[in-house]
Amino acid sequence: QSPQSSFSPSPIFTGSGDSASPCQAPAATPTEQSFADSVQRLVRDQFEQLASGLPERLARRKVLAGIVMSRGPDLDPSADLTVVCVTTGTKCLSGQHLDASGSCLLDCHAEILSRRCLLRFFHHQLATAIKSNSESIFQLATNGSNLRPEVSLHLYISTSPCGDARVFAPTDPGAAADASGDATEAANEDEHPTRASRGLLRTKIECGEGTIPVPATLVAQTWDGILGGERLLTMSCSDKVASWCLLGLQGCLLSRLVEPVYLRSIVIGSSFNRSHCRRALIGRLQRPAPGLPVAEPALLGVTERDPRQARAAPDCSLNWYCLDGVQPELVNSSTGRLVPETVTDASDSGGSNASRLSKRALFANYARLVHLLRRQHQAQSRRPQQQLRLPPVPKTGSSGITYREAKEACTEYRSAKSAMIGFLRQNGKGLWAAKPWELQEFT
């Protein structure tokens, strides 16, 4: 009998109150403001430490992101805070470098890489839980693991995510900031909330910066079309972060093993407008389907705004996460592969130029996790007195199955994502641009 998916969206949670309309977000309390500043400082300090050991041209950055884990009081700087990952980047893969092996990174925007680093961290924490269930941030249950209640996750981005959250903020009269670095409450109100341009899905510009609305006549992206010169479309960071608020950070494959994991807060370092951010990240997806609520992370600005980076964005992106021995990895954003001079036999790539955050690398990690889970189930059948409350073993994850087939087995997650895409389309927000199916045919 096929095991049931553990995917089950969590109830809505909010920041400072839950009465805000889809285009209004409550202001931060003094404690929450101090917490946001602490998150920013931790991510900045970790990046500076990592960058200090790199050549200047590889240490440059325009957008910085990171995820901080807290244990203790909610949105309180007195909590135990740990930097889980730090990333930089502002560019996407050039279509001419598309690769069917799953070895290249398609999107090197900083916040997107942070989530991919978080998946590596989740893999490690789930393996720890399966082995001992004591040192892990996850607690095991027979219907799927879940994040321990005292643990919460917080995303920092040095500027508002590209797309709907950012595109209007710099130009609206209300986007001017006061001396504290955050926009005033009056300024945070969208003066034109009903304009048709608000809330549209947008795609990133290949090998460049900025976003454009998804074409109304969007047709399926094809492998040969892109290799022949058509633009490779990648959904904006605003759209992707919004999907995390609905579907969870764990993604499709891990939805077989864990309950959805949501951000508790999103801290924005500059170009922050609460009204635009709330519409883009939360308001567009209010109740897309019965039983599918959108989580509402607290949206927080900072006291000291991240300085505007006026210089050209570097081609190199950096990623790092907090496991013993992990060194910063540097990726050429245009090729989606490691910067050549950083490839060594001692690196995580083992001499390959594929990133540890590529689809192929994450799928291999997932397969190892499933095999570990299968071995633990077999061991428990021989030693029932030492039972852990293990989640069911997906039938996927064995050698030979393709990445696409593994994702297709996650039926509940895929149904939820389809409902999200359909809801956005029906409400006039545009079409979700999917990548060519050939990118998922590797094993």
Active site positions, annotated: 111
Q: Which residue has the tokens 């454009």?
A: 212
Q: Alpha-carbon torsion 76, 274, 92, 243, what sign?
A: positive
Asked if residue 132 lies in contact with residue 106, where contact means CB atoms within 8 angstroms, the answer is no
Can you say whether residue 428 is alpha, beta or left, with left for phi > 0 and alpha for psi between -120 and 50 degrees?
left
Structure-token pair, residue 173: 């009269």
Q: Alpha-carbon torsion 270, 281, 163, 123, what sign?
A: positive
Nearest Cα to 284, choosing from 299, 294, 273?
Answer: 294
Can you say whether residue 45 is alpha, beta or left, with left for phi > 0 and alpha for psi between -120 and 50 degrees?
alpha
Q: Is 153 exposed, middle or buried (0-12, 13-18, 19+ CB in 10 A)?
A: buried
Instruction: Give the bridge partners for 70, in sequence order.
Output: 81, 152
Secondary structure (DSSP) of 330-364: EEETTTTEE-GGG--TTSTTTT-SS-TTSHHHHHH
Asked if residue 409 lies in contact with residue 163, where contact means CB atoms within 8 angstroms, the answer is no
To the nearest 10°, report the CA torsion of 122, 65, 205, 436.
0
Asked if residue 382 lies in contact with residue 216, where contact means CB atoms within 8 angstroms, the answer is no
Give whole-number Cα distances, 114 to 7, 111, 191, 249, 279, in Å: 22, 5, 32, 10, 22
Q: Where are the alpha helices (DSSP H) in 212-327?
A: 223-227, 237-247, 251-254, 274-281
Can you say whether residue 163 is alpha, beta or left, with left for phi > 0 and alpha for psi between -120 and 50 degrees?
left
What count of other Cβ atoms lies within 10 Å of the Cβ of residue 219? 10
